[in-house]
Structure 1
């Protein structure tokens, strides 16, 4: 079956969504299907990857978003969809690409929309009328597609309150071979922290919804208490300049985007504690990669991450003191063992099977709803 997948807001330096698209595509391919991913870019392209065929459609930059692009040419995309003749349509954008659900219905193609973000949460972040507007847009998405896929109960809640009948919940996974405690690197640690210092890490896009400032404020609070700690920040984005200014005088190492998975895996395994402070995370793949690396995580109580990390981390309120207390509570060998054990509940093969069930491409009798 040809599974055509559409996504906006994907760049070479974007994290969780890009990883998810790659891993699911590779899984579809291994299961004997033909995945085709369509994403925006600076210029047109068509290539074969480990995750199947990848078609790049020229799309404009979104101002102030640090390199994100969107597909805006409906006529061109409609022609491409007609030419591709998909057996299934999977859309990872519930706003600018919602119209493709209508295209799929008219073409007789079963369709699924994957909810990668909390719409109500994002609207709250930008001080917009969250509940009313989110309910209207979410209802429109549910009506436009045959299936709505959410990765956590937290993400599904905004659809469940609308009594959406076509909702499916499928957790994502983590690469348990690439991310492992065995990646601990003495040389890397020596380069980032002095003996006796705690090494903290923040991995993620430096954008408002990720709230990277909370990690810097937590470091400042720990230093104020006399705790010797340093923070490594892996990622880039529109807030980089302001974060550098906020971190002035603090031991913060800005590492930029780590395109090399091995480098990221070493960093996560070498850290003592990781931060994932985004309040609107619907799954939190970076946090799960930290857990797989044996590193406990401090997360925002407002996000889906408490559901994902379980007892392998700490969920706190938006307060530097709470983050600092959580860091100190998560130190110790038993915490690292607990982190790895928790991550082992989430695998990409299980996620692929779940998505294929949602697409009605394998037995649906055990599909979680």
Structure 2
């Protein structure tokens, strides 16, 4: 099996996509699969890594440090040289030329659907956005589609049945070694410590997390919210916080450092109602930190009654949920959080994705066996 992974609109703070690509890629290689990763970057570059070769294609910045491959057909030549048995695409729009090439070449394509378009666009614009026609076209252009939660599946289930596109649910995972509980100072005294980690853009609902902390502060609850992440709406959030004890730390380099900060908190706020999975939810739980989330969205599926709570997406209702969690025995809630995260190792996600690729390959004509991928002479660089 030879899997080529492709992603677009990737930046230094696009943690979810980067984390997923890295974890799945490492798992593929460990399972004996040849893997090629194609991503946008500041220049054309070919890298050899322990988890497969990487092709970085020159792409302009489009805001927030993100890069967008505006010439997606340039990804086709590296794919031809690699000779994949299947391609895994983490994009619903800009990489369609790749899936057209794959279909003409008899190579199955698997779409790893990272977001619900209807929820993402509605959260970003504040208006309902019809996405049925686009989703139907996307489904028809891929041989199989993977969603990561029941919430994500609900958007596509009827359309997938109508187009005859197989739809699979494969939950993602968490790095249980990096994200783990840590012994910290006595937290029985002092303010209730809250944490929010994620990109500060409207579709991630950081405004709701900050407003929840403000609601608690207005009630006279001693509270401290630490926000880790950056994005285009940081100034709005700082204004929203007003005099409430909310500290914006910006993007935190290094996952170990983020894990330390998550483990210090009493409750993590991952409240986006349009999140299709919730890697940030799992990372907090793995650190032994209970999570309060919205009562809809993929994050809700990760939180049970022992490791956190959920409420409608309003600051006052979420504030109530925070106080309910904070009133529980600290040791019990921390152990429950860790146990819940341990149900989602990355190894299980890798197994699920490999099964999908195998199913896709079983229904496709056998491709010619290629030589091992080689970059053009003079372009190969070590990672």
- Common fold: TM-score over 0.5: yes
Cα deviations across residues 104-137 of structure 1 (Å, max 9, x unaligned)?
1111111100100001112322256534xx2111
Cα pair 1:35 1:52 within 8 Å, conserved: yes
Shift of 1:80: 2.7
Cα deviations across residues 226-282 of structure 1 (Å, max 9, x unaligned)?
111101111111112222232232222222222212111111111000011222111
| CA distance, structure 2, for counterparts of residue 50 and residue 186 of structure 1 | 38
Cα pair 2:12 2:65 within 8 Å, conserved: no
2:27 aligned residue: 27
Shift of 1:16: 1.3
How many residue pairs get aligned? The number is 354
1:186 aligned residue: 185
2:105 aligned residue: 107
Task: Identify which of structures 1 and 2 has the higher relative contact order when contacts are C-alpha pairs closer than 8 Å and 6+ apart.
Answer: 2
- Equivalent residue runs for 1:121-200 within 5 Å: 121-125=119-123, 126-127=125-126, 130-131=129-130, 134-162=131-159, 163=161, 164-181=164-181, 183-186=182-185, 195-200=189-194
User: Could you say what secondary structure the match of 2:358 adopts?
Assistant: coil
1:314 aligned residue: 309
Cα pair 2:115 2:152 within 8 Å, conserved: yes
Cα pair 1:294 1:340 within 8 Å, conserved: yes
Shift of 1:361: 6.9
Shift of 1:168: 0.8
Cα deviations across residues 307-342 of structure 1 (Å, max 9, x unaligned)?
122322222212111111111111232222221111
Q: TM-score, normalised by structure 2?
A: 0.87
1:287 aligned residue: 281
Cα deviations across residues 330-368 of structure 1 (Å, max 9, x unaligned)?
12322222211111111100100000000017999xxxx
Q: TM-score, normalised by structure 1?
A: 0.91
Is it true that 1:344 corresponds to 2:342 in the alignment? Answer: yes
Cα pair 1:111 1:145 within 8 Å, conserved: yes
Choose the corresponding residue for 2:322, options 303, 321, 327.
Answer: 327
Choose the corresponding residue for 1:216, options 204, 210, 219.
Answer: 210
Cα deviations across residues 200-243 of structure 1 (Å, max 9, x unaligned)?
00000111111111111111111111111101111111112222
CA separation of 1:227/1:176 partners in 2, compared to 1, >3 Å: closer, same or farther?
same
Shift of 1:92: 0.1
User: Could you say what secondary structure the match of 2:67 adopts?
Assistant: coil
Shift of 1:102: 1.5
In the alignment, structure 2 segments of 5+ residues that lack a partner are 363-383
2:355 aligned residue: 357
| CA distance, structure 1, for counterparts of residue 227 and residue 126 of structure 2 | 27
Is it true that 1:237 corresponds to 2:234 in the alignment? Answer: no
Shift of 1:41: 1.4
CA separation of 1:120/1:108 partners in 2, compared to 1, >3 Å: closer, same or farther?
same
1:367 aligned residue: none
